[in-house]
Structure 1
């Protein structure tokens, strides 16, 4: 499972966390279960959503392979509400099952080949309780979101504690097959220092995702195209899958 600099390094994870604030996607995931249940957050990152789910009374486990991200998550978890685990989504073995497993923040797209994506889905299925659900999202390739990943359209600025004002923008370096390579460029405005994190994401088609879910043993999938629950359509921005074993 690839770990980008923005996720592996503590200093980069702090910057990532500062720019990734609460959004409508978080509201969607927070509303998936109204009754307290056991939740596994695969690719939990800096833990913001895991902590919100725990505050609602859920028993939450956050798993991520990136040490920088987990360090930031643990620092935010003052009350120790979440169990944080360093692990790879392809082969973790927790010896327990969960009512709900989620992959948020488009983490599904970091898996670049069918083999590793299938390993992740199959492993998630093994950790689902009876009647459990796996929920994740992937950007719809037909919406071509990467065409808006330019400095002019993505530039934003925020103040980071202990660092000062920081600017970030995104820049695409290459597109081939269903893969997109891009840089996240952070600039520390007080010093002019730039920190660049290269990433590659996969944009699988809805058909490719459906095939992998079937191969992983999921019996049914509900498809949505946005965060208010609209049915998926060819021009939807998102491919949101709610899969049941």
Structure 2
């Protein structure tokens, strides 16, 4: 597992590094009306799960990283969300959910076909008839990784109390669908930077559709960006709504 999800210092700044709301706002606009039950997969520090809970949804949030779940629990003083350290397959098959969601490009961390099919099968077994699974992946045709260079690093971001953090990305290898890269975290109050090594998989829409069918899900709709625009060959995102294949 990447250091970004395990190192306490990096988990503590995860929310600051992922402050954009475009994806949350898009998914909220697509969700069914309350009351309904939501399964948040790869919930991270729980920001979206807590937002859903505040809006009246009944939320179960799952993540395999104990540090992430611990951070999420710490933000949920009223214990409105059910937090689970583990995977979808660790959940009981009942009760089932009305909608499932996987944000933050977490889908791209699944590097093997078998892992993706297993996820789809686990979701299909735990959502109601007519329910959907929403997730996104970066469109490989847009080649987002070409912008992950030290020269294109953003200016340091303020963390409060006079602290700042600069994140520098560097691609190490591109091998077909797989992109390996290093992120270096330069804290103004630390003598030595921290780093995290990651590999992401960039799959095409057609390939994901095939894997979805193998896992018991079919495409309901596809968007190409967070405005909800139709997917085009050069769209930055591939945003899926997959439905249970009855």
Q: Deviations over 1:188-216 (max 9, x none)?
A: 11233200011100001111101011111
Question: Within the alignment, does 1:40 sit opposite 2:33 as a pair?
Answer: no
Q: Which moved more, 1:102-111 or 1:147-156?
A: 147-156
What does 1:191-210 align with in structure 2 at a 5 Å threshold?
A: 191-210=190-209
Tell me the CA shift for residue 34 of structure 1: 4.9
What does 1:1-245 align with in structure 2 at a 5 Å threshold?
A: 3-36=1-34, 37-89=36-88, 91-94=89-92, 95-160=94-159, 164-245=163-244
Q: Distance in 2 between matches of 1:163 and 1:111?
A: 37
Kept in 2, the 8 Å contact 1:106–1:139? The answer is yes
Q: Distance in 2 between matches of 1:149 and 1:104?
A: 20
Kept in 2, the 8 Å contact 1:232–1:239? The answer is yes
Q: Deviations over 1:37-83 (max 9, x none)?
A: 10010000011111111111000111000011111111111222211
Tell me the CA shift for residue 161 of structure 1: 5.6
In structure 2, the gaps of 5 or more residues are none
The alignment's C-alpha RMSD in Å is 1.6
Q: Deviations over 1:161-204 (max 9, x none)?
A: 67922211211111101000111211111233200011100001
Q: Distance in 1 between matches of 2:218 and 2:147?
A: 36
Q: Distance in 1 between matches of 2:136 and 2:216?
A: 18
Q: Distance in 1 between matches of 2:161 and 2:128?
A: 42
Q: Distance in 2 between matches of 1:39 and 1:163?
A: 38
In structure 1, the gaps of 5 or more residues are none
SS at 1:31 equivalent: helix
Aligned length: 242
The TM-score, its normalising length taken from structure 1, stands at 0.93
SS at 1:230 equivalent: coil
Kept in 2, the 8 Å contact 1:166–1:188? The answer is yes
